[in-house]
Chain A
Amino acid sequence: MFRRSFAGLAAAALFALAAPAQAADDFIIVQSTTSTQNSGLFDDLLPKFQAKTGIEVRVVAVGTGQAIKNAANGDGDVLFVHAKPAEEKFVADGDGVVRYDVMYNDFVIVGPADDPAGVAGSSDVTAALTTIAQAQAPFASRGDDSGTHKAELRLWKAAGVDAPAASGDWYRETGSGMGATLNAGTAMGAYIMTDRATWIAFGNKGDYQIAVQGDERMFNQYGIILVNPETHPGVKAELGQAFVDWVVSPEGQDAIAAYKVDGQQLFFPNAGE
């Protein structure tokens, strides 16, 4: 009796394994970042693309650093991230075909309402960062090699502050995604640099407000790249290219511009400019 039920269990397991995940094969995998996913942009954009082409887009949303590594392993058809130098290296290494500008948004530095470093209202990011460092006010960094983390490190460098040297003191590296860093940073009263899209859509703001914004050095450019089918034979080049083409087409660009949360436009299309 035991053996019979045992065989039944094994058969059930094999059946579960064998059951196809999805019947259709018309899908691509896009390696992208948490900001595009958490802001809700993909939920708005992808159904429009699928309605037009019938191609299903499956998004893996991780930090830019991890997304690039995954794509460089051939685990994705399209890369859609925001770290231009790293993206250009990805293409130069032969992992990507061509990089296109897609859109931009900007970074902001958010802080608690009592503003311990006194930087609220500033539009000079390097001056603000210097003030935060001098005041030794807590600052929560992604610390995860993401696009936002890379941009933040560039700004510290421009300010002439070696913030990572204070890691564990007032400079706190969470080593996590944007949302997790916002949750942790707001809980510890720290300043946090975040992309505006994630901030507007974030649901746990507490008493936090945007402290620093409007500096053109906080410009956050997104790019899209077809993973190179010559170096990665598994890439669905035709379907992936269709998605790239649509995103940079007037139709895709209009769809990006039309996406709003709380009446605010989150991403500004700038393909081909």
Chain B
Amino acid sequence: MQPDTGIIAAAMGLILSGNADLIEIVGLSLRVTLSAVILSCAIGLPLGAAVGAWRFPGRGVLAVLLNALMGLPPVVVGLAVYLMLSASGPFGPLRLLYTPTAMIIAQTILVTPIVAALTRQAIEDLQSEYGEQFASLGVGPVRRLSALLWDARVGLLTVALAGFGRAVAEVGAVMIVGGNINHVTRVMTTTIALETSKGNLQLALALGVVLLGLALVVNAAVMAVRGVSARAAHA
């Protein structure tokens, strides 16, 4: 790559070239990140909603804990997951280390607190609005959660996207538990780190632009779906 090539032009060239390796890496990035976000939502939405809507002892502590865990350093999570999945760790026999599954596990641990903490805030605000109505109608606790989550769905979409942003941009954890193995666990961020270490700064930056484009496409797609469903609801 010529040093005087514009970064954007280089990125466009990469995309248009249809390079098989690049497609594979982008595909794995999406697979790992989307799986982690979906799993995080499966855990974090009900968890955050419960902490936001229910009254129980230790609720305040849990809320603070969830907020604090949003700042989990990816490298620390990567190390912890490595020690768990290592052949000499408790889950070694599963042989998950250096697989995409290990990367999904690490990212799920990173993203779940974000989803849970932001969901808690959104649900708590709604709960204070609807609390009396629920009480007068005698709505059970579980029914209340699903009603609140459904009502907050538009805001929660942004919560999921925040989780996606964290996961897709993360390099420290997936590098350790995935190992950045070519054609197996190499994703966009680890490729960027590798090319940077090879001194191929132009290529690394161009890949960064591609990653940004990927995040743009995902966000635009989600917002488009939201727009369509909102129109359908009002039709």
Whether A38 contacts B38 in the complex (CB less than 8 A), given A21-B99, A59-B181, A74-B87, comes out as: no
Q: Which residue of B lies closest to A232 (CB)?
A: B87
Whether A58 contacts B38 in the complex (CB less than 8 A), given A202-B198, A234-B92, comes out as: no
Cβ-neighbour of B184 out of A17, A58, A178 (below 8 A): A58
Q: Which residues of B contact A52 (CB under 8 A)?
A: none
Q: Quick check: B197 and A38 within 8 Å, CB to CB?
A: yes
Instruction: Give residues of chain A (169-213) contacting chain B, Cβ–Cβ below 8 Å.
Output: 177-180, 182-183, 201-205
Check: A146 CB closer than 8 A to any chain B CB. no
Q: What 1/0 mask marks residues of chain A from 34 to 70 whose CB sits below 8 Å from any chain B CB?
A: 1000100001000000000000001111000000001
Distance of A265 from chain B, by nearest CB (Å): 19
Check: B168 CB closer than 8 A to any chain A CB. no
Q: Which residue of A lies closest to B197 (CB)?
A: A179
Give Cα A59 to B199, complex, Å.
20
Cβ-neighbour of A17 out of B86, B93, B104 (below 8 A): B104
Cβ-neighbour of A73 out of B88, B101, B150, B201 (below 8 A): B88
Distance of B196 from chain A, by nearest CB (Å): 7
Q: Which residue of A lies closest to B203 (CB)?
A: A203
Cβ-neighbour of A13 out of B35, B93, B201 (below 8 A): B35
Of the candidates A13, A34, A59, A201, the one having the most CB atoms from chain B within 10 angstroms of its own CB is A13
Q: What 1/0 mask marks residues of chain A from 142 to 168 whose CB sits below 8 Å from any chain B CB?
A: 000000000000000000000000000
Q: Quick check: A16 and B181 within 8 Å, CB to CB?
A: no
Q: Quick check: B196 and A180 within 8 Å, CB to CB?
A: yes
Cβ-neighbour of A177 out of B45, B92, B153, B197 (below 8 A): B197
Of the candidates B31, B88, B146, the one having the most CB atoms from chain A within 10 angstroms of its own CB is B88
Instruction: Give residues of chain B (145-165) contacting chain A, Cβ–Cβ below 8 Å.
Output: 146, 149-150, 153
Q: Which residues of B contact A34 (CB under 8 A)?
A: 197
Distance of A188 from chain B, by nearest CB (Å): 15
Q: Which residues of B contact A183 (CB under 8 A)?
A: 196-197, 199, 201
Give Cα A2 to B45, complex, Å.
12
Q: Quick check: A13 and B196 within 8 Å, CB to CB?
A: no
Q: Which residue of A lies closest to B153 (CB)?
A: A2
Q: Which residues of A contact B200 (CB under 8 A)?
A: 203-204
Check: B182 CB closer than 8 A to any chain A CB. yes
Of the candidates B93, B150, B153, B182, the one having the most CB atoms from chain A within 10 angstroms of its own CB is B182
Q: Quick check: B42 and A234 within 8 Å, CB to CB?
A: no
Distance of A224 from chain B, by nearest CB (Å): 18
Whether A38 contacts B150 in the complex (CB less than 8 A), given A21-B100, A59-B182, A74-B88, comes out as: no
Q: Quick check: A179 and B182 within 8 Å, CB to CB?
A: no
Q: Which residue of A lies closest to B102 (CB)?
A: A21
Distance of B91 from chain A, by nearest CB (Å): 12
Check: A264 CB closer than 8 A to any chain B CB. no
Give Cα A180 to B193, complex, Å.
9
Q: Quick check: B181 and A60 within 8 Å, CB to CB?
A: yes
Q: Quick check: A16 and B196 within 8 Å, CB to CB?
A: no
Check: A257 CB closer than 8 A to any chain B CB. no
Check: B29 CB closer than 8 A to any chain A CB. no
Cβ-neighbour of A2 out of B93, B100, B146 (below 8 A): B146
Check: A9 CB closer than 8 A to any chain B CB. yes
Q: Quick check: B197 and A178 within 8 Å, CB to CB?
A: yes
Q: Which residues of A line the B interface, CB within 8 A?
A: 1-3, 6, 9-10, 12-13, 16-17, 21-22, 29, 34, 38, 43, 58-61, 70, 73-75, 177-180, 182-183, 201-205, 232, 234
Q: Which residues of B line the A interface, CB within 8 A?
A: 31, 34-35, 38-39, 41-42, 45, 86-89, 92-93, 95, 97-101, 104, 146, 149-150, 153, 179-182, 184, 194, 196-201
